[in-house]
Structure 1
């Protein structure tokens, strides 16, 4: 994908729209972050409803900036600023695109989830609520979280929200994480709060998986306040919305570039496949959560000398440290920790820590996998399994479920 195409192909971001002025400000701030990552690209903003301009109008404006592009590529790209599929992505945005394209080739991207960078922002908002500035810090293991989604008439969107809640639970080592919906579907927020309290929870964080402030977030606060009035023995905190972040802006940028055939879309992962012989060699793992728990056993199977650096650890990593399988340094990671390593896994809950470690590894010519932002590392982790004396590994285009499915199909063929 030539760099010049990025400059010539305009992007229109299709947002939902809200009557909340703060929400509109947050939305425009995110668009600014996207534009900063796409120098030379016209980045427009249109809304499904409630705010002007509409998507069709924004698309018409964007198409006036079209230059000479490859005839096989779209003349404009629309990226929905929506987390999950639903009626807006299936009907409203395609309808607006058809209205505004005026015979031009326009490509529409999919929703932002299940990109792990979005989940990382949600987990950061939960972590901020666990330890608020000037307030008492709660231990994750003693805290229940209600993960609130918008609710949709599309089954896949609701199923994805259940999956998201489970991933947050395991990755953050919480007492529990229960899904809830603010509208359309059940369980409602009060119902999930009641379920958490019935299980013995006395400290609950309500985390809205909403991009920006708006009517839904206001309703959420009202419902939580009403529920708390009849449950005085339970403390409840509400986490902030996802907001304008560099991570979410990067997801939007990738959705745009995928429509232009870059970021490996349709061409496989942009990597050179190789097998690392790590026996007796130092490997650094930053972070000791769910990702580390899954990856460390593979590193140990390869004979690596694994050093884990994290202020706290989940049950599995702590158990490995107690039996001497890994060297756990119970502290924050530093760039100099990369010195002498052959391979690095940056899997901290904090993206800034992962960025710092990845940059340190890059400077020292040490290959590094970033669990939260794969393209910012120098290596990918494949979906791997062993059978019949063979190791099968699949490296995909950052859709881990697809890689796992292909891996399992290959194993089935080998074993058949």
Structure 2
């Protein structure tokens, strides 16, 4: 049978409908660049279509080999666990389809150039509207997503350094929107003490959404306390042509069998300082219970441009809206796969990892491996005891208590026994948000 290729762009999803629309533009751009291949997209949570729906569409079009590209800047929990788990499950249920998983956008010179152009646009506009400030009197603050994976967090710092050194700013700093430290408000508060006339705040994000809006909101708060400093909010990456080029490169890497993730620094495979408890943890996802639940409430004042205010009980009371925490884990879970990292703890292990976009023969070996080393289905209920830490996109969480980004931790009554983020109580991390 002749092989038919198709492209699947796998996104995280957002309650913000504008973010979902921006992500869809990536798929449209890849369709234009790959006219001979069907292209679909899907999300892990909050948005429709979900990833499995996109795969269904490709299968209906006769696709036999899927080139699955994660729409992620860096490889943390979503790229390493959640998306591969969804793909593993789908392939196990559809043995006639082969799914090859590509790598994240990562540290890429095209991405750095795209970021530099977004920052330069902000500098030019500020010089024109607020008055000229020399770059040596300017501090660049790059805001990363933040995760419980130190490798992904360090990549944000490397991006900042390359932008700082490449553009010649007086100083550079990195902060994060959630999970790790320092968060945006304490990071900018510290930066304001360094004596620079202007601070450029650049969210190193692909799309808008709740977190980008939160970054800009914290910028306004700190700026109000420091009227002597120009605070300039640069735009996020969005559909910059170089970003689209980088996505196309990831597709070509899968076709060429050259998509290799940075397993040497993976906390699940190697002894990373401070994260020793994570090595050998199973690969699995906890996101299916929020698949396709949609964005903000239809009658919310945000009109689809969600900033998560509708998840604050006081806001809901004021506007007569129902309040429910979006990321509740109280619902019973369906069957889903897990991959045992312990079966292959180095890059050259027996079966490798689905994330390495294995060629067909290797991927088949993974799927047909003995039960100790292949993706397997297991009962995943509220008391699953999976022993794995997951990034849920709303701040650090320890055991069963979650901070949903508005200072109200919620006990969801489940017991995952995952290794907690070791610095969840850092004073400059999510704990700082509870002071509000």
Query: Given the two structures, how large is their TM-score scaled by the length of structure 2?
Result: 0.56
Q: Alignment partner for residue 36 of structure 2, among 21, 33, 40?
A: 40
Equivalences, count: 254
1:242 Cα deviation after fit: 0.4
Alignment of 1:12-411 (within 5 A): 12-66=8-62, 75-101=65-91, 102-103=94-95, 104-132=97-125, 135=129, 136-261=131-256
Structure 1 residues 39 and 224: alpha-carbon distance in aligned structure 2, compared to 1, 3 A threshold: same
Mapped to 2, the partners of 1:194 and 1:22 lie a distance apart of 29
1:229 Cα deviation after fit: 1.8
1:63 Cα deviation after fit: 2.4
| Local SS of the residue matching 1:233 | coil
| Local SS of the residue matching 2:86 | helix
What runs of 5+ residues in structure 2 fail to find an aligned partner? 261-436
> 2:395 matched to which residue of 1?
none
What runs of 5+ residues in structure 1 fail to find an aligned partner? 70-74, 267-416
Residues 110-139 of structure 1 show CA distances to partners (whole Å, capped at 9, x for unaligned) of 110111111111111110110118524443
1:49 Cα deviation after fit: 0.7
1:64 Cα deviation after fit: 2.6
Please state which structure has a larger fraction of its residues in helix. Answer: 1
Mapped to 2, the partners of 1:265 and 1:27 lie a distance apart of 22
1:260 Cα deviation after fit: 1.4
| Local SS of the residue matching 1:132 | helix
Mapped to 2, the partners of 1:253 and 1:63 lie a distance apart of 21
Mapped to 2, the partners of 1:222 and 1:17 lie a distance apart of 21
1:65 Cα deviation after fit: 2.5
Structure 1 residues 233 and 120: alpha-carbon distance in aligned structure 2, compared to 1, 3 A threshold: same
Asked if structure 2 preserves the Cα contact closer than 8 Å seen for 1:56 and 1:96, the reply is yes
| Local SS of the residue matching 2:173 | strand
Mapped to 2, the partners of 1:119 and 1:50 lie a distance apart of 29
Mapped to 2, the partners of 1:16 and 1:244 lie a distance apart of 16
Mapped to 2, the partners of 1:219 and 1:198 lie a distance apart of 22
Mapped to 1, the partners of 2:48 and 2:90 lie a distance apart of 14
> 2:424 matched to which residue of 1?
none
Mapped to 1, the partners of 2:8 and 2:67 lie a distance apart of 6
Structure 1 residues 147 and 265: alpha-carbon distance in aligned structure 2, compared to 1, 3 A threshold: closer
Query: Given the two structures, how large is their TM-score scaled by the length of structure 1?
Result: 0.58
Asked if structure 1 preserves the Cα contact closer than 8 Å seen for 2:137 and 2:198, the reply is yes
Name which structure has the greater RCO, CA cutoff 8 Å, separation 6+: 2
Mapped to 2, the partners of 1:189 and 1:239 lie a distance apart of 14
Asked if structure 1 preserves the Cα contact closer than 8 Å seen for 2:133 and 2:197, the reply is no
Mapped to 2, the partners of 1:58 and 1:171 lie a distance apart of 39
Mapped to 1, the partners of 2:190 and 2:102 lie a distance apart of 37
Asked if structure 2 preserves the Cα contact closer than 8 Å seen for 1:34 and 1:250, the reply is no
1:100 Cα deviation after fit: 2.2
Mapped to 2, the partners of 1:255 and 1:25 lie a distance apart of 21
